[in-house]
Amino acid sequence: MTALNVATYVFIGIGLFFNYVGAFGLHRFPDVYTRLHAATKCTTFGSIFLILAVVMQSAGMWAVEGTHSPQSIMTIHSLLALVALMVTNATGAHAMARAAHRSGEKPARAVVDDLEKKEND
Amino acid sequence: MEFLITTVVAYLVYLLLTIGSGTVALWSTAELIIGAVLAVVVGAVLRNRFIGKDLRMLNPKRWFIFLVYLFPFVWAMARANIDVAYRVITGRINPAIVKIDPKLKNDMSLTILANSITLTPGTLSVDVRPETNELYVHWINVDPEVLKDMPRDYHPICGSFPDWARRIAG
C-alpha cells in the first residue's frame, strides 16, 4: 500500500507541475496561438497524471475491498473522464485557434503565415 | 448492421457509466434491462448518423494499431510538455503558420492527425481545407530549412504521425 501511496504522490506532483507551467505560459506568451500551446498541451498532460493518481488510489481500494466495492465507479468514471479530456481538449484548442484566425488575429512575431495567403487568394 | 453496431456501442457506454450499481457481475438487474431498452431506442434513432456508410473502423486490426500508436504518442506528448515548459521559462519562440499536405483521404484519419498534432511538440492545428485535406499548423519554433520550398515537408513538423493516422483509419 505504501508503494502505491508514494506513486500517487509522485503523479500528483508531476500533474501539478505541468498544470502550473500551463497557467504560467498563459502569462508569458505574447499572443493567442502560443498561449493555446501552453494551455492545451500542459493542462492535458498534467490532468492525465492527476487522473491517473485518482485511478491508482481507487483501483487499489477496489482490489482490497473486493469486486462489488463502490470504488469501481470512481475508477471507471475517472478513465472515461480521461478519454473525454484528451479528445475535447485538442478539438477545443483547434476551434479557438481557427476562430481567432478568422476574426483577424495575427500570430505575433510570425515568420510565415500560409493561412493569410490563402485568405488573400 | 448499422443498427446493431450503434446499439452495441450505446449499451457498452451505458454499462461503463452504471458500473458498480449492483451484484449481477457489477451491475443491478434494473440497470441492465433499462440500458438494453435505451440502447435499442438509441440504435433505432441514430443508426444512419453514428457511423454512416464507412465500416472500416470495425476491423480489429485498426484498433490494435491504435493501441500500439498510443506509445509513441505518449512519448511525443511528454517531450512536448518539456519543450513548452522550456519555452515558457526562457521565452524563446519563433512562430509561423505553415501549410502541410499529409495526403490523407478521409475525415477520421485527418481528425486523429489534427488532434495528435495539437498535443505533440511545438505544433497546433489551426485550420483545415476540406476539399484538399490540407492542414494549417501553428508552429512555435520554425526550422528555416522547411520554409524554402512550397509543398512543405511534413516530417520536421509532425514526424511519422500521418503514416500512423493512415494505418489506423486510412
Least Cα separation, residue B159 to chain A (angstroms): 17
- Burial annotation A17-29 (CB, 10 A radius, 16+ → b, else e): bbbebbeebeebb
Nearest to A97 among B91, B116, B138 (CB): B138
For the segment B99-137, what is each residue's pLDDT rounded down to a tens digit? 877 777 777 788 888 888 888 777 888 888 877 777 888
Backbone torsions φ then ψ of B139, nearest 5 degrees: -115, 125
Strand partners, B125: B137
The CB density around residue B35, as the number of other CB atoms within 10 Å, is 19
Taking CB atoms and an 8 Å limit, are B138 and A111 in contact across chains?
no
A-interface mutation test, from B27, B67, B138, most A Cβ less than 10 A away: B138
Mean pLDDT over A63-78 rounds to: 82
Per-residue model confidence (pLDDT) at position A114: 67
Residue A121 has pLDDT above 60, yes or no: no
Per-residue model confidence (pLDDT) at position A51: 93
Which of A60-64, B68-72, B89-93, B156-160 is the least confident region?
B156-160
Taking CB atoms and an 8 Å limit, are A25 and B129 in contact across chains?
no
Per-residue model confidence (pLDDT) at position B144: 72
Question: What nine digits make up the cell of B119?
Answer: 498535443
Mean pLDDT over A20-38 rounds to: 84
**CA distance linking residue A8 with residue A53, whole number of Å:** 5
Residue B141 forms contact with A (CB below 8 Å): no
Residue A109 has pLDDT above 70, yes or no: no
Q: HSE (CB half, 13 Å, CA atoms) of B58?
A: 14
Q: Are B93 and B138 in contact (CB under 8 A)?
A: no
Chain A stretch 47-66, residues whose beta carbon is closer than 8 A to a beta carbon of chain B: none
Residue B29 has pLDDT above 90, yes or no: no
Residue A66 has pLDDT above 80, yes or no: no
Q: How many beta-carbon pairs under 8 angstroms link A with B?
A: 135
- Mean pLDDT taken over chain B: 80
Residue A1 has pLDDT above 80, yes or no: no
